[in-house]
Structure 1
């Protein structure tokens, strides 16, 4: 019995609703890609062959291929030599899709830091055995971007982005791809979150001395291959970063309230 036959004869569990045929074919094609070691640029079987393999109509197979295309796993080309080809899913594309899912979920700074406080220490520990001297030098170079007061608004923004990029470099050396992706995604959410962007452009004095010291301590711990110390340092750093961001958010919201009250006071006088 072929893999496709085995797939088609799996009985539905009692009480479990039968899945759409399209979804079943999508999953089967994903398994085919993995089992046959297909990579970017490789072609999937022709549409008529997929129809025969899955005993499905043209419309059902096309719907399954469209679903895979929307997910970024394949690209469909028309004309001579066309067909469905495996695409390389970039991290940026994956993050964009996930960001779109979360767009209307009212994500807050507190939500993001709740995750970062748990995950960033694990990330640092997982990266510590693998980071090389070149990586440590990149971290030191990033600190030099924001270890001084900015000269103008553009430099202020650049500094805040570099502070987040520091943690992105740490993620590059983690041996846990899921953990690294999740932490980089949280860092991207902070860059894209409207309230965070509003905070980043404010000409507020930034208490960065302790944070920078934590980062320098982290570099030293990673250089010494001390995973426990790296995790502990990042735990302190994330807690401090969260409090700092929440304090700045409260100040910004108070300022908005005061500005909103001013026209009312003038109209009442």
Structure 2
């Protein structure tokens, strides 16, 4: 059996140079306090500042552009500028990480049960009338029980939007991002796997009542009540999603 040729440590180093330069550029941007939209130095200045060849600088900039951290514009006034990674882009990149990993409904709800009651308790008494009104407006999408499976799915997606929007109101960007990310994963599961096949009036009524009770606790500033209601809501939602997933699997096997 032929031996594998020895790897060239220098080749590994050369391949990693653009990564190191990309990290150095990010550090420099942070140290300078640059904000999205601010212009970055031109290529010649970057070559001089970081002491790297033109090809290495260009590859580092391409890496940063692929990550959404810089934007390049052509024409008059063009150049490279600090970019802003949106929540949607960050969620898509993180979703790619989990694409080939087995993530179960229970995995998702372990995270939701841990985080969402915490968020709800922290927001009790802190939301404005406009914010509470926005949550109530979302609930209008499922003010009445669904008439068929398609409407059931639309209502569930709207209910998840309620939770994602609530996460936007928190002051903790990291907490809000992960709660919103979980809601997006469940939205995708609902749409792509078609988990909701028949309307369930009892579950609609209990789920909606949970959200009504949650808004009341948020409005009155009752943190303990907000936590308890959200936890109960999450536990019920987990049981529902697991049951729906099992039903879809059973039907698939039967077919």
C-alpha displacement of 1:258 = 1.9
Q: 2:169 matched to which residue of 1? A: 173
Query: 1:196 and 1:239 mapped to 2: Cα distance?
Result: 23
Is 2:158 aligned against 1:162?
yes
TM-score (norm 1): 0.82
C-alpha displacement of 1:229 = 1.8
Query: 2:106 and 2:184 mapped to 1: Cα distance?
Result: 15
C-alpha displacement of 1:166 = 1.0
User: 8 Å contact 1:26–1:67 — kept in the other structure?
Assistant: yes
C-alpha displacement of 1:152 = 4.1
Q: 1:203 matched to which residue of 2? A: 198
Is 2:68 aligned against 1:72?
yes
TM-score (norm 2): 0.86
Structure 1 runs (4+) greater than 4 angstroms displaced: none
Gaps of 5+ in 1: 1-16, 260-269
Query: Secondary structure, in 3 states, of the residue corresponding to 2:195?
Result: helix
User: 8 Å contact 2:40–2:80 — kept in the other structure?
Assistant: yes
Q: 2:240 matched to which residue of 1? A: 244
C-alpha displacement of 1:143 = 2.4
User: 8 Å contact 2:147–2:199 — kept in the other structure?
Assistant: no
Gaps of 5+ in 2: 1-11
Query: 2:223 and 2:182 mapped to 1: Cα distance?
Result: 22
Query: 1:255 and 1:48 mapped to 2: Cα distance?
Result: 63
Q: 1:48 matched to which residue of 2? A: 44
Query: 2:147 and 2:204 mapped to 1: Cα distance?
Result: 16
Change (3 A) 1:194 1:140: closer
Q: What RMSD over aligned residues (CA atoms) do the two structures have, in Å? A: 2.2
Is 2:31 aligned against 1:35?
yes
Query: Secondary structure, in 3 states, of the residue corresponding to 1:241?
Result: helix
Alignment of 1:189-200 (within 5 A): 189-193=185-189, 197-200=193-196
User: 8 Å contact 1:221–1:229 — kept in the other structure?
Assistant: yes
Alignment of 1:1-269 (within 5 A): 20-193=16-189, 197-200=193-196, 202-206=197-201, 207-259=203-255
Query: 1:118 and 1:74 mapped to 2: Cα distance?
Result: 35
Query: 1:245 and 1:56 mapped to 2: Cα distance?
Result: 53
Query: Secondary structure, in 3 states, of the residue corresponding to 1:198?
Result: coil
How many equivalent residue pairs? Answer: 242
Query: 1:76 and 1:144 mapped to 2: Cα distance?
Result: 42
